[in-house]
Amino acid sequence: MVDIATIATFLVAALAALFMAWSIGAGSSGSTPFAPAVGANAISVMRAGFFVGILGFAGAVLQGANVSEAVGTELIDGVTLSPIAAAVALTIAASLVAIGVFAGYPIATAFTSTGAVIGVGLAMGGDPAWAKYTEIGAMWILTPFVGGGIAYAIARILRDEPIGEERLIVGLAAIVGAVVANIEFAVLGPPDGGESIAQTVGGWLPLSPTLSVASVTLVIAILWGVAVGADLNKGTERGERHFLLVLGGLVAFSAGGSQVGLAIGPLVPISGDLELPLIALLLGGGVGLLIGSWTGAPRMIKAISQDYSSLGPRRSIAALIPSFAIAQVAVLYGIPVSFNEIIVSAIIGSGYAASTAGGGVSGRKMGYTVLAWVLSLVGSILIAFFGYWVIDILLL
């Protein structure tokens, strides 16, 4: 039987998780997915905040399990986070993210949340999970180069038009369709895991598993290309803006699937003692993201869309395609990743393709942003470590 003290402490931690979810929704998850679309004047700031909230909630519920379990159980070896440790980690991480929201600088939520969990875990006497840190570090380091590089290449091709612009966008749409066909959803497949659309539909075909998945992927990719091509035939600029909005929606969905784990991940070890299913945590975290997106995201959407680069529809498309792909890789492997880092690096890559002068990218703004990322990681580890240490002494 669970004692009252444990339940009370869990409720405190849950409130901290809700605060963290709100901060994430108002910051990275709520602002970055539609920032390029807003910068391209494809959607208004307020509408972007509304839709990103709905889509982020859906992503949190359907794709949030992998990252949530990784943050809650894989960042520290040898100990299990206690309710007090979870409350301390979440409160510190959420506070740092909230400071970034109100100051107008995109603090990387993955850095603050990961750092805070590591900090309290070390203070509890746990051992560093070096294998997981290597995996996470590789993702964080490669993201700016891979995302920015792909965005640069796509934007450059769209600008130089070695092939027809409409044909190129149709090809890009087909690639996006192939990715969508293979992302996992919690509502598909076995109860203890997810399955992709290609796997589910492919299971109905009298073919080998590999051939079935490949066939379904090809069909879905073609359908995406045909749909976007038909829209482009009604007007290139109109079709580009519609495709851009679809990409923003996919990134928003992916953001919910990744970022909710940063908020509720520390609660995962505690929920087992209370016999609370993970889906309940995902629903609560999704609601927090939704409220944060609706109440605080417009400020950060404006900051990212206008301060980092002067975007047009083509450069925005170039930024969102690698952002969506990288986000889904992170969700699949349960790696906490910063959407600020993903989107901002992609925006820079597409911005530099515009001209030799850097495409309107603010170097000063980016310098402050990178500094904020580094300080948020190091600071959250140190503050969480000493914060838990002090509280532990007071409770003895």
pLDDT tens per residue, range 271-285:
766 778 888 899 999
pLDDT band, residue 303 (cuts 50/70/90): low
Does the pLDDT at position 101 exceed 90? no
3-state SS assignment for residue 25: helix
Residue 241 exposed, middle or buried by CB count within 10 Å (0-12, 13-18, 19+): buried
Give the number of residues written for the chain: 396
Does the pLDDT at position 298 exceed 90? no
Rounded to the nearest 10 degrees, the angle between the axes of helix 236-264 and helix 278-307 is 130
Give the whole-angstrom CA distance, residue 214 versus residue 201: 11
Contact between 119 and 381 under an 8 Å Cβ cutoff? The reply is yes
pLDDT band, residue 191 (cuts 50/70/90): low
- Mean confidence (pLDDT) of the chain: 83
Average pLDDT score over residue span 319-339 = 89
* Amino acid letter, residue 74: E
CA distances from 216 to 57, 194, 208, 219, 224 (A): 27, 17, 12, 5, 12
Does the pLDDT at position 364 exceed 60? yes
pLDDT band, residue 309 (cuts 50/70/90): very low
> Across 174-178, 237-241, 293-297, 353-357, which has the greatest mean pLDDT?
174-178
3-state SS assignment for residue 386: helix
Give the whole-angstrom CA distance, residue 373 versus residue 106: 8
Number of H helices and number of E strands within the chain? 17, 4
Q: List, for residues 115-142, the tens digit of each pLDDT value.
A: 999 999 999 999 999 999 999 999 988 9
Give the whole-angstrom CA distance, residue 287 versus residue 260: 10
Give the whole-angstrom CA distance, residue 226 versus residue 178: 13
Average pLDDT score over residue span 351-357 = 64
What is the percent of the chain where pLDDT is above 70? 86
Q: Which residues pair with 127 in a beta bridge?
A: 77
Contact between 68 and 260 under an 8 Å Cβ cutoff? The reply is yes
pLDDT of residue 362: 58
pLDDT of residue 308: 46
Does the pLDDT at position 209 exceed 60? yes
Does the pLDDT at position 358 exceed 60? no
Q: List, for residues 210-260, the tens digit of each pLDDT value.
A: 899 999 999 999 999 999 999 988 888 888 888 988 998 998 899 899 889
pLDDT of residue 104: 59
pLDDT of residue 44: 80
**Total number of domains constituting the chain:** 1
pTM: 0.85
Q: What residue numbers bound the domain in which 379 lies? A: 4-395
Q: Indicate if the alpha-carbon torsion angle 351, 366, 146, 60 is positive or negative.
A: negative
Average pLDDT score over residue span 72-91 = 88
